[in-house]
Structure 1
Amino acid sequence: MKLIASFIFCLSSLVLFSQDLALLKYNGGGDWYANPTALKNLIAYCNKNINTKINDKPQEVEVGSIDIFQYPFLHMTGHGNVFFSETDAENLRNYLLSGGFLHIDDNYGMEPYITKELKKVFPDKDLVELPASHPIFNTAFKFQNGLPKIHEHDGKRPQAFALFNEDRLMLLFTFESDLGDGWEDPEVHNDPADVREKALKMGANIVKYAFEN
């Protein structure tokens, strides 16, 4: 397994040149499939507004599969438990260190589980909160106050946390914002148009930043 992972690690820079997004499937019982219309709407928005050419049918990939190396951008969401096996953690670590990007959007209730599992992936790294001045909040659209609030849950402020490999932001965890709900079809949550627009613009910023850095 380690030999296979090392081989993938060496070759992954070749396959990460594409512009495609995938939804990350994980174990533990959490609903990785939450917000089923979100990614297709984000992709359509990005292709229209920031000149991406992303496949309009996002795929689903398992965290422990070599298939994740086909996608430069992985999106992960859910409400509940997350579990990474040792193989899952090693595969995800190799993916991220070789140039991949993971966006984790807490759909409410995911935070205590994912923060624990990320320690399996990077035992020596801690999530760092990004300031509102970070370029990810200004790369396509300007968010002077940082991560926007899309849905209220516990009344806490929205926060964006990151894991870095040296100076490269390789993982973004958005918390108390619920961007994915804002990307969903309008009738799912009946959000006002301006709220959905904020969510899609922030999503486009994340995609643009991930593809260009």
Structure 2
Amino acid sequence: MKLRAAVSIFLLLLTYTSEAQQIALLKYIGGGDWYANPTSLPNLIAFCNANIGTGMDPKPQTVEVGSPKIFQYPFLHMTGHGNVFFSPEEAENLRTYLISGGFLHIDDNYGMEPYLRKELIKVFPEKELVELGADHPVFKQQFNFPEGLPKIHEHDGKRPQAFGIFYENRLVLLFTYESDIGDGWEDPEVHGDPENIRLKALQMGANILSYVFKN
């Protein structure tokens, strides 16, 4: 085993004992707006702390893809509208993080999907994104979504889809597409979504976090 991988796994295991429910926003290069939806994660954290018994820091941190600091967090969130690029070193770092027990949720804020798919090949050249059925446990955690991923924003009018990458039978990456649940987590005045739509988005986000922290 490479020394870097061994150190990374040690850091991750150490983190799980001290910061088992901390999350961070993933910063990437390529020109895409990784910083989109600035109120999303704080609002999701507040909802989860109030409704499903988590004890997360109300202020999420930001970490870069290639940084060893990603191993301080069992859950990373990534979003944006445009281009995504991972260097070989970043792809290796992200892969090590994921196969060592970490989890990445990617929410397409509309427009990042074609770029993202190319970069994920660098991380998992032997894997493909597979669509999760509505019977997957992530849709049946704290809140029940019998039809699967909820639709929050229309965009192209396509149906919402949840894709995953599995490593040794563990879901390590979730990609939510044509749903835009991150927009639903934002402050209500940002997008003007009805309260019932925002609630669905927050409940789905809570399900994702609950699934990750329990598995």
TM-score under structure 2 length normalisation: 0.97
Is structure 2 residue 6 aligned with structure 1 residue 6? yes
Q: CA separation in 1, counterparts of 2:3 and 2:122?
A: 20
Is structure 2 residue 76 aligned with structure 1 residue 74? yes
1:174-213 CA-partner distances (Å, limit 9, x unpaired): 0000000000000000000000000000000000001111
CA contact (8 A) 1:162 1:173 kept: yes
Q: CA separation in 2, counterparts of 1:199 and 1:40?
A: 14
Q: CA separation in 1, counterparts of 2:30 and 2:6?
A: 26
Unaligned runs of 5+ in 2: none
Q: CA separation in 2, counterparts of 1:4 and 1:28?
A: 25
Give the equivalent residue in structure 2 for 1:136.
138
* 3-state secondary structure, aligned to 2:57: coil
Give the equivalent residue in structure 2 for 1:203.
205
Give the drift of 1:7.
1.8
* 3-state secondary structure, aligned to 1:43: helix
Matched residue type, 1:68: I
Q: CA separation in 1, counterparts of 2:11 and 2:105?
A: 22
Counterparts of 1:31-50 in structure 2 under 5 Å?
31-50=33-52
TM-score under structure 1 length normalisation: 0.97
* 3-state secondary structure, aligned to 2:154: coil
Q: CA separation in 2, counterparts of 1:5 and 1:41?
A: 34
Q: CA separation in 2, counterparts of 1:120 and 1:10?
A: 24
Counterparts of 1:176-187 in structure 2 under 5 Å?
176-187=178-189
Matched residue type, 1:179: I
* RMSD across aligned positions (CA): 0.9
Counting matched residue pairs gives 212
Q: CA separation in 1, counterparts of 2:159 and 2:114?
A: 17
CA contact (8 A) 2:22 2:73 kept: yes
Give the equivalent residue in structure 1 for 2:108.
106
Matched residue type, 1:37: T
State percent identity of aligned pairs.
70
Matched residue type, 1:134: H
Structure 1 ranges of 4+ moved more than 3 A: none
CA contact (8 A) 1:16 1:69 kept: no
Give the equivalent residue in structure 2 for 1:151.
153
Q: CA separation in 2, counterparts of 1:9 and 1:20?
A: 17
Give the drift of 1:12.
1.8
Matched residue type, 2:9: F
CA contact (8 A) 1:16 1:100 kept: no
Is structure 2 residue 127 aligned with structure 1 residue 115? no
Unaligned runs of 5+ in 1: none
1:66-113 CA-partner distances (Å, limit 9, x unpaired): 000000100000000000001100100010001101000000001001
CA contact (8 A) 1:16 1:99 kept: no
CA contact (8 A) 2:152 2:201 kept: yes
Give the drift of 1:4.
2.6
